[in-house]
């Protein structure tokens, strides 16, 4: 049974994973609260976490796309005992807990969907592109609903101004225009993750790529182009072509997690300009010989793009500070517990 093992062999040899007669290699296909679905040689089955491993040792919880080792239980639920190394990872900041929330893993492409209606937003697209580059996957921009757009070229040109090195595919899941071009671009047996707001047409695109209806489709509101959540949880869908699709619930807001390399790649124009500044540690504020300031003054770099970069950089630094502070508190709590335990031992001697 194919579930991406062949591609994963490029990154980690499975013969190095210790398996016995009760264990099996699997891949996480769905994530619910406290419950998982894992596909393996035994088929797709429900699974739970080995609590002694995941809760006691602060191990990263499984995400859709993860390759895992399971304890196979023919009479009930399987148990996930290990998550294997990830070669790509899409995550965001959990604004409530101020921690990293893993959305999907082990994918080849990140398809960023935006529809050609009132939903179109370049600043939001900047955010998605940064996250996509940071994830380790290849970002691809898919412009949906071309059948209702009168000037597709306008949108393509606008995106080219901000999406350096990213392929753009205008498609219509209704007329199938552009779908074959996108399908041909994606490698056979690749894993893709779909990102975008509710109503952009993620489910419709999956159906178009599959050549039949494999997902339910909801209508959008005409007044503001917003849609209801068709996908309510993260899941992996297997197409007959061999393509594996990780679908995620629509995200109106995407708060960035650590994304320094993603920022550098997404804002390659600003990064290249900064290399010509007189000072290597130029803050692009009041220093003389600043290439970024000169580009802003000449109009080579727009203030809108510069402000977008600054906002996203500030956001990533905030997330990093929260993450570092959380690690410090966890380390402090750990040593406090160790010292308390040592005092009790000394007292009982």
CB neighbours of 153 closer than 8 A, spacing ≥ 6? none
* Same domain, yes or no: 69 and 217: no
Q: The tokens of 338 are what? A: 């160790």
Phi, psi of 54, deg, nearest 5: -80, -30
Task: Report the C-alpha gap between 173 and 168 in whole angstroms.
Answer: 16
What's the rounded Cα separation, in Å, for the pair 110 and 123? 18
Q: Distance between CA 33 and CA 36 in Å, rounded?
A: 8
120 and 221 belong to one structural domain:
yes
CA 212 to chain centre: 26
Number of domains in the chain: 2
Q: Is residue 200 part of a domain?
A: yes
The domain of 181 spans 89-247
Of 151-165, 219-233, 307-321, the one with minimum mean pLDDT is: 219-233
Whole-angstrom distance, CA of residue 178 vs CA of residue 146: 9
Residues 12, 107 share a domain: no
Q: Distance between CA atoms of 207 and 179, rounded to whole angstroms? A: 11
Write down the pLDDT at residue 161: 85
Residue 343 has pLDDT above 80, yes or no: no
pTM of the model: 0.77
* Average pLDDT estimate for 86-109: 79
As a whole number of angstroms, the distance between CA 122 and CA 174 comes to 24
Nearest Cα residue to 132 out of 94, 177, 162: 162
> Do residue 42 and residue 105 come from a single domain?
no
- Cβ(153)–Cβ(146) below 8 Å: no
Q: Which two tokens stand for residue 39?
A: 């596909």
- The whole-angstrom distance between residue 325's C-alpha and the CA centroid of its chain comes to 24
CA distance 52 to 72: 17
Burial of 332 (0-12, 13-18, 19+ CB in 10 A): exposed
Higher-confidence position of 74 and 52: 74
What confidence tier does 109 reach under pLDDT thresholds 50, 70, 90?
very high
CATH number assigned to the domain comprising residue 239: 3.40.50.300
Q: Which residues make Cβ contacts (< 8 Å) with residue 166, sequence separation at least 6?
A: 129, 139, 140, 141, 159
Question: What pLDDT is attached to residue 101?
Answer: 77
Task: Write down the pLDDT at residue 8.
Answer: 54
Q: What is the pLDDT of residue 314?
A: 83
Kindly state whether residues 189 and 58 are assigned to the same domain: no
Q: What is the torsional sign of CA 19, 25, 31, 36?
A: negative
Residues 74 and 177 placed together within one structural domain of the fold: no
Please tell me whether residues 118 and 210 are part of one structural domain.
yes
Is there a domain that residue 127 lies in?
yes
Given pLDDT bands bounded at 50, 70 and 90, which one contains residue 47?
Answer: very high
Q: What does DSSP say about strands 244-247 and 191-195: parallel, antiparallel, or unpaired?
A: parallel
Buried b / exposed e over 228-260, threshold 16 CB at 10 Å, is: eebbeebbbbbeeeebbbbbbebbeebbbbebe
Choose from 113-117, 289-293, 334-338 the range with maximum mean pLDDT: 289-293
Residue 16 has pLDDT above 50, yes or no: yes
Burial class (CB in 10 A: 0-12, 13-18, 19+), 51: exposed
- Is 98 inside a domain boundary? yes
The reported pLDDT for the residue numbered 262 is 80
Report yes or no: 287 and 278 within 8 Å, Cβ to Cβ: yes
The predicted model gives 279-286 an average pLDDT of 88
Give the residue with greater pLDDT, 165 vs 92. Answer: 165
Output the average pLDDT for the chain: 81
């Amino acid at each position: 049974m194919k579930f991406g093992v062949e591609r994963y062999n490029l990154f980690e040899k499975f013969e190095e994973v210790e398996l016995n007669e009760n264990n099996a290699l699997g891949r996480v296909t769905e994530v619910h609260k406290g419950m998982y679905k894992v596909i393996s040689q035994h088929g797709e089955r429900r699974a739970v976490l080995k609590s002694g491993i995941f809760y006691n040792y602060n191990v990263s919880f499984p995400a859709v796309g993860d390759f895992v080792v399971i304890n196979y239980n023919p009479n009930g639920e399987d148990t996930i005992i290990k998550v294997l190394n990830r070669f790509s990872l899409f995550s965001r900041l959990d604004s409530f807990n101020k921690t990293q929330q893993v959305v999907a893993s082990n994918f080849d492409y990140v398809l960023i969907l935006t529809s050609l209606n009132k939903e179109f937003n370049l600043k939001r697209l900047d955010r998605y592109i940064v996250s996509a580059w940071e994830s380790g996957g290849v970002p691809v921009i898919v412009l949906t609903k071309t059948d209702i757009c009168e000037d597709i070229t306008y949108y393509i040109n606008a995106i080219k101004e901000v999406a350096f090195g990213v392929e753009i595919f205008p498609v219509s899941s209704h007329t199938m225009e552009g779908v074959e071009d996108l399908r041909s671009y994606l490698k056979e047996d690749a894993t893709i993750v779909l990102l975008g707001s509710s109503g952009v047409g993620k489910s419709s695109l999956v159906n178009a790529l599959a050549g039949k209806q494999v997902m339910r489709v909801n209508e959008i509101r005409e007044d503001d182009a917003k849609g209801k959540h068709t996908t309510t949880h993260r899941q992996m869908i297997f197409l007959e072509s061999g393509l594996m699709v990780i679908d995620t619930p629509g995200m109106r807001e995407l708060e960035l997690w650590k994304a320094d390399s993603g920022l550098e790649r997404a804002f390659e124009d600003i990064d290249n300009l900064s290399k010509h500044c007189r000072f290597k540690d130029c803050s692009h504020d009041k220093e003389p010989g600043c290439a970024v300031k000169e580009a802003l003054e000449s109009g080579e770099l727009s203030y809108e793009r510069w402000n977008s970069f600054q906002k996203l950089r500030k956001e990533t630094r905030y997330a990093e500070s929260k993450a570092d502070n959380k690690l410090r508190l966890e380390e402090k709590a750990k040593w406090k517990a160790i010292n308390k335990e040592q005092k009790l031992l000394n007292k009982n001697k």
